[in-house]
Amino acid sequence: MIIEILPLLMFLVLAALLFTGFPVAFVLGGVGLAFWLLAVALGIENPLSFFLVVGRIFGGVVNNLTLVAIPMFIFMGTLLEKSGVARDLLSALQVLTRRIPGGLALSVTLIGVVMAATTGIIGASVVMMTVLALPVMIDRGYDKALASGTIAASGTLGILVPPSIMLVVMADLLSTSVGGLFMAALLPGLLLSTLYLLWIIARTAISPQLAPALPKSEGPRSLLALSGLMIRSFLPPVLLIALVLGSIFGGYATPTEASGIGAAGALVLALLRKNFRWKTFLESLDQSTLTSAMLFGIFVGATAFSYVFALLGGHDLIIGFVDSLDVGPWGILFVLMAIVFFLGFFFDWIEITLIVLPVFAPVIKALDFAGHVPFPELTITWFAVLVAVNLQTSFLTPPFGFALFYLKGVAPGSVRIQHIYKGVIPFIILQILALGAVMAWPDIALWLPSRMQ
């Protein structure tokens, strides 16, 4: 009996320790090591199986060239933020939308899309937009809930819109193509961004006092000045994004190679700025290194945990539990989505992805959706996109929505946590609607990769 419930005990112990605030990497690796030692003591495992875990870590993480893209994309986004390129882009978008009620909120959403296409660092995106945009929005008379909700939701687009760090991790865990997953997530990411924009337009059209338009006197006075602003602040980062994504989708570069192109392009844009300093470059390197080290530490711990979980028969336990539900493929899919959504209230995407995907993937591969998925060979890609859309909510749902913490940490004192919670509710609903749309119409995710193939 003890042997059969060991995998379940692993999850319970992991959940309990994650709430202690101890570093996630050490919790994952420590729980895996502890239960391996327990299995050896009970005679379930051979002591030599420890070297299998080491081999899995080396082969799956240390020696994985695909994961090289992660530090490159992190450096790319950090450099754009530190050098002021992203700040100038936000200013340009404000000018373009200044005549529209809610134009500043629309600009924040658009800059969120751009930042999402340059980096998957949610903390950097949310903090940057909060510092740059929230005080301005409040000074312009914006409703605090609408302003804070827009910033928090737009900043989370980085885990869905490619090139995304999370998609790189997912592709590695599911043994699928990174480029294919990028293509599959592009349209759902744009769909979610469009829903954000439509909601802001509709909300401010009904209640214009929530988001007053900028005065006509602000911004460039002539077409020549406006053209100069667009050429200087808008076109460079947009061209960089087009270069990175175009090289991947066109088949000219792998995601790993494209990440190097993006990092080099961001460095060129930063060097072209007059106020760029050596100190800024070192700060970007320092932040990128710390973020990458944190992520790879979690990868190592999660690899050890998942491998020990599999050694103890955890996958068989999960598959047996799902089969016992007897709710059919759609019922199982809804249950899995509900589990991911529930976990999002308490854990970050890193823990959820690295723990849940290796367990759920065998279940999904065994399901038959009776022709609902037009390309059965891409079912696992469709499932990955569903999880990615679902995980958007993990940044916004209290009590542990990390985007809420990032925003509150740098927001003006007049913005209370109640404003933030109230502001994110409509965007959480929009995320659930986007999840339902991709679930009902798989072509939203699968049309582009199927055409490219």
Reply yes or no on whether the pLDDT at 288 is more than 70: yes
Q: What are phi and psi of 312, to 5 degrees?
A: -85, 5
pLDDT interval class at 220 (50, 70, 90): low
CA pair distance 415, 408, nearest whole angstrom:
8
Q: What per-residue confidence (pLDDT) applies to 214? A: 67
Q: What per-residue confidence (pLDDT) applies to 438? A: 92
Q: Which of 132-146, 290-304, 439-453 has the lowest mean pLDDT?
A: 290-304
CA pair distance 241, 181, nearest whole angstrom:
17
Q: What per-residue confidence (pLDDT) applies to 87? A: 72
Q: What per-residue confidence (pLDDT) applies to 128? A: 66
pTM value surpassing 0.85? no
Of residues 115 and 205, the one with the higher pLDDT is 205
Burial of 418 (0-12, 13-18, 19+ CB in 10 A): exposed
Q: What per-residue confidence (pLDDT) applies to 429? A: 92
Mean pLDDT of 96-105: 75
149-199 residue pLDDT tens: 988 888 888 778 877 778 888 888 888 888 888 888 889 988 999 999 999
236-282 residue pLDDT tens: 887 887 887 778 767 788 777 887 888 888 888 888 887 778 888 89
pLDDT interval class at 392 (50, 70, 90): confident
Reply yes or no on whether the pLDDT at 1 is more than 70: no
4-24 residue pLDDT tens: 778 778 878 877 886 676 777
Token pair for residue 2? 């003890």
Reply yes or no on whether the pLDDT at 64 is more than 70: no
Reply yes or no on whether the pLDDT at 119 is more than 60: no
Instruction: Please tell me whether the peptide bond between 163 and the residue prior to it is cis, using omega within 30 degrees of 0.
Output: yes
Q: What per-residue confidence (pLDDT) applies to 345? A: 75
32-52 residue pLDDT tens: 888 888 888 888 777 877 777
Short-list 263, 295, 256, CA closest to 178: 256
CA pair distance 107, 89, nearest whole angstrom:
9
pLDDT interval class at 435 (50, 70, 90): very high
CA pair distance 205, 184, nearest whole angstrom:
33
User: What is the average pLDDT score of the chain?
Assistant: 79
pLDDT interval class at 450 (50, 70, 90): confident
Three-state secondary structure readout of the chain: CHHHHHHHHHHHHHHHHHCCCCCHHHHHHHHHHHHHHHHHHCCCCCHHHHHHHHHHHHHHHHCCHHHHHHHHHHHHHHHHHHHCHHHHHHHHHHHHCCCCCCHHHHHHHHHHHHHHCCCCCHHHHHHHHHHHHHHHHHHCCCCHHHHHHHHHHHHHHHHCCCCCHHHHHHHHHHCCCHHHHHHHHHHHHHHHHHHHHHHHHHHHHHCHHHCCCCCCCCCCCCHHHHHHHHHHHHHHHHHHHHHHHHHHHCCCCCHHHHHHHHHHHHHHHHHCCCCCCHHHHHHHHHHHHHHHHHHHHHHHHHHHHHHHHHHCCHHHHHHHHHHHHCCHHHHHHHHHHHHHHHHCCCCCHHHHHHHHHHHHHHHHHCCCCCCCCCCHHHHHHHHHHHHHHHHHHHHCCCCCCHHHHHHHHHCCCCCCHHHHHHHHHHHHHHHHHHHHHHHHCCHHHHHHHHHHC
pLDDT interval class at 95 (50, 70, 90): confident
Q: What per-residue confidence (pLDDT) applies to 437? A: 93
Mean pLDDT of 80-103: 74
Q: What per-residue confidence (pLDDT) applies to 191? A: 92
Per mean pLDDT, which of 87-101, 288-302, 330-344 is the most reliable? 330-344
337-372 residue pLDDT tens: 888 888 777 666 776 787 778 778 777 777 777 678
Q: What per-residue confidence (pLDDT) applies to 123? A: 61
Q: What per-residue confidence (pLDDT) applies to 138? A: 83
Token pair for residue 295? 């992520």
Percent of the chain with pLDDT over 90: 6
Q: What per-residue confidence (pLDDT) applies to 436? A: 92
Reply yes or no on whether the pLDDT at 434 is more than 90: yes
For 414, residues 6+ apart whose C-beta sits below 8 A from its C-beta are 138, 144
306-331 residue pLDDT tens: 778 777 877 667 667 666 767 777 88
